[in-house]
Amino acid sequence: MKKHLIVVMNIVLIAVVIGAIIFTVVNAMNKRSESEATAATESPSAAVETQSVTMPENSFKVGIIQNGLGNASKDCYEGFITELNERGLLDKMEIVYIVEDNKEMCRDKIQKLVDGGCDLMYTIGRYASETAADITKDVPIVFGAVNSPDEVGLVKSNEAPGGNVTGVSSYTPCFEQVDLIKTLLPETKTIATIYKSTDTDAVLQGIIAAKEAENIGMSCKDYPVADEKALKEALEKIKEDKTQVIYIPVDKFLSSNIKTLNEFSYENKIPVICGDEATLELGAFATSEINYSSIGRKAAGMVNDILFGGKSPATLSVNYKHDCTNIVNKSVMDKLGIKLPATALTQVEMWEAPTEPATEAEKAKSE
């Protein structure tokens, strides 16, 4: 009996020892799990995950690529930034601004933007726009200051671009320039458009101008000319027909023959409305010049529509409507004996040729 009791006690002791061992092992394992869980919440990878979750919504990386170095390109950039700021959008964007006139380097930088996860690109100028469009068919592109995006293949059509590219054209503001005639010379009934017959772009501008003239109640006759002889013949015909105003588009041939046009204009008191400020400075009467800052502003509006409005570049029509500055050559106005209506004075800027500094001999003579 005593021997049997000893056996039972030994069995109980062994069971107690085994239970203690099991308890110790389980407790150690639980503590280890708790320690690993604590370490995991403090690890760098977990911190990054938390940060990505708390990133602000609707935050985008926007690349601005400008390949021109002139004032027009700078104005396109400044207008863009100003409009974004006024809309309160700059805080929601990471802006990467690239100014690169070297074509090869420009392409490399655009490629890096795309590879770096750029959400949208604003391209200023034709080369930057064409290069970006060649590199990506996925990233939305809004261009600024491209004359004829449909003709160069950036869009399928101006009304329905159809891809990842849309934007704001810098095409000569023919409509606005013809409308300026009614502002400055409201009694005008007849105008003539002259352009080089082999200059496709000049021909198109002439056609647009003629249609707009008819739309606002003026009759218009086109004079496509091939050479200097044809130009002189056209001017004589314009004189015979008692035409009141001449419109000339941006046209290299006419610019090179501006002296002939100016002499005719001054002698016959027929004002010339021209396609750009450079021709006005050479002796034309008036023009409407694109405000390039407004191109940037309009592009910013399109960016807002795409990134924050959910619209697609494929369905956003190219913007051709311009905000313009109306300019009158004051000395030419005086030569022609024109007096502007009071209503027009507030709508134009007067341009005067810069005066040359007096020579030492002139200074001495005046003293």
SS3 43: coil
Note whether 99 and 127 are within 8 A (CB).
no
Residue 189 clears pLDDT 60, i.e. is over it: yes
Handedness of CA 19, 22, 28, 32 (dihedral sign): negative
Give which of 310, 208, 31, 105 is closest to 113, Cα–Cα: 105
More confident residue, 284 or 51: 284
Q: Which domains does the chain have, with CATH numbers?
A: 60-171+294-315 (3.40.50.2300), 174-275+324-351 (3.40.50.2300)
Residue 354's pLDDT is what? 85
Locate the DSSP E strands across the chain. Answer: 60-66, 93-99, 120-124, 141-146, 165-169, 190-196, 219-225, 245-247, 272-273, 286-290, 324-329, 349-351
Rounded to whole angstroms, the Cα distance separating 345 from 78 reads: 28
Write the CB contacts of 331 (distance below 8 Å, at least 6 apart in sequence). Answer: 352, 353
Could you report the per-residue pLDDT of 191-213, keeping only the tens digit for each?
Answer: 999 999 999 999 999 999 999 99
Could you report the per-residue pLDDT of 260-314, keeping only the tens digit for each?
Answer: 999 999 999 999 999 999 999 999 999 999 999 999 999 999 999 999 999 999 9
Residue 330 clears pLDDT 70, i.e. is over it: yes
* 272 alpha carbon, distance to own chain's centre: 30
Cut 0.75: pTM above it: no
Give which of 275, 270, 222 is closest to 253, Cα–Cα: 275
First-to-final CA distance of the chain: 148
Could you report the per-residue pLDDT of 153-178, keeping only the tens digit for each?
Answer: 999 999 999 999 999 999 999 999 99
